[in-house]
Chains A and B, each alone.
Chain A
């Protein structure tokens, strides 16, 4: 990034996990012109706002998910309490292994 030293670059195609495909679909649905609940520029700004440490620690779609969440809070689409309650509900149902 930005001409800074980086590690090895994996150049082979790989399969995407179901949750990654869902994040991609969510981004497409939210940014569709007729909805306009998220602009790609907002996504990028929120990814940049992660800071270097979090940026490096997260995977590609984890960054997207973080940025989508931030944008929906900033736009007033979701409240923080709604997100907190939903996350708790999902965690309670989950056995911890399945995403």
Chain B
């Protein structure tokens, strides 16, 4: 975990929306979850931002990383599996906003 870290804005159980954004570069936020609402399942720690590391920059201050839980039926309108199925995705704080 990096020494200089941004403070965590979200708590476990809080609902968050993934920002709809498509800048160039190396993005670790999957396309299919952008714009969707999920729930904070856990805070994984804080890590240097990989979008900046990808260009050999420091990525500091470290960004809190959350595991966010989405309902599969929310991500895919045509989802035919169990309605209780969920997908958990690790997403950096700067991609999240309150829902």
Could you tell me which A residues sit within 8 Å of B by CB distance? 2-3, 39, 41-42, 44-45, 48, 74-75
Assess whether A2 is in contact with B32, with CB atoms less than 8 Å apart: yes
18 other contacts beyond A39-B54, A42-B54, A48-B26, with CB at 8 A cut-off? A2-B30, A2-B31, A2-B32, A3-B32, A39-B53, A39-B56, A41-B26, A41-B53, A41-B54, A42-B55, A42-B56, A44-B50, A44-B54, A45-B25, A45-B26, A45-B55, A74-B56, A75-B56
Pairs A–B under 8 Å by Cβ, sample size 25? A2-B30, A2-B31, A2-B32, A3-B32, A39-B53, A39-B54, A39-B56, A41-B26, A41-B50, A41-B53, A41-B54, A42-B53, A42-B54, A42-B55, A42-B56, A44-B26, A44-B50, A44-B54, A45-B25, A45-B26, A45-B54, A45-B55, A48-B26, A74-B56, A75-B56
Tell me the B47-86 residues at the A interface (CB within 8 Å).
50, 53-56
Q: Tell me, in angstroms, the Cα distance from A42 to B25 when the chains sit together.
A: 10
Name the interface residues of B11-62: CB closer than 8 Å to any CB of A. Answer: 25-26, 30-32, 50, 53-56
Chain A contacts of B53 at CB under 8 A?
Answer: 39, 41-42
User: Across the two chains, which residue of chain A brings its CB closest to B26?
Assistant: A45
Residue in A closest to B25 when the chains form the complex, CB atoms: A45
Q: How many B residues face the partner with a CB closer than 8 A?
A: 10
Residues from chain B with a CB closer than 8 A to the CB of A39 are: 53-54, 56
Shortest distance between the CB of A19 and any CB in chain B (Å): 26
Q: How far is the CB of A60 from chain B (nearest CB, A)?
A: 18
In chain A, what residue has the closest Cβ to B52?
A: A41
Find chain A residues with CB under 8 A from B31 CB.
Answer: 2
Measured CB to CB, the nearest residue on chain A to B30 is A2
Of chain B, the residue at the smallest CB distance from A74 is B56
